[in-house]
Amino acid sequence: MTAANAETNDDLGPYHIQITINKDRVNLSSLELARIILHEMIHAELFVANFHKGGSPIDGDFEANFNTYIQKYYPDGNAVIHHNYMAENMVNNMSIVLSLIHSNLGKLQFLNDPNVKNAFPNGLPSDFYKGLAWSGLQATDMWRYRLPERTNYEDYQKLALDNLNNDCN
């Protein structure tokens, strides 16, 4: 495996999706590992939805929407297609999931960290989890060219990487 956080592979077919976490990433925080797994689960869902050529729990009009992305991004392969699709359609949902599960993954300890209190004296910004959801999508067109909040999101990602913990409640 390359330096990627993880890899999702559908070589065995749409009902045998394999997600492999990079062994160098297993000591990351619980929330960061959850984010990686969520990201890879979306790759898996995209493989399955593409196989079925219809709707999907993540997008009721998947076939039409995904075909647009294939036409636009096909020359660069599946990872780029998937990542651009995620960037334009999934980041908000990913941020909601991350905010909901953080309560079970050491959120109180994170909020009480002096570095976090110093960075966010009034509590986490409303778009904090959205910033985390963008991790792994930095090569997308939207991140590179059409995201004015990018600097804030990079700051959130760094703060999270430096201060999140491995606790699970």
Examine the pLDDT at 22 and tell me if it is beyond 60: yes
C-alpha separations of 119 from 52, 98, 116, 122 in Å? 46, 20, 5, 9
C-alpha separations of 71 from 39, 47, 50, 52, 80 in Å? 22, 16, 14, 18, 12
Q: 43 or 3, which is more confident? A: 43
Confidence of residue 84 (pLDDT cuts 50, 70, 90): confident
DSSP SS3 for 127: coil
Examine the pLDDT at 1 and tell me if it is beyond 50: no
- Cβ atoms of 72 and 33 closer than 8 Å: no
Confidence of residue 125 (pLDDT cuts 50, 70, 90): very high
pTM: 0.84
**Which two three-digit tokens encode residue 105?**
């993954």
Helix spans in the chain (H):
30-52, 62-73, 78-89, 91-102, 107-112, 114-119, 128-133, 141-145, 150-163
pLDDT tens digits for range 156-166: 999 999 999 88
For residue 3, give every residue at least 6 positions away whose Cβ sits within 8 Å of its Cβ, in sequence order, or none: 22, 24
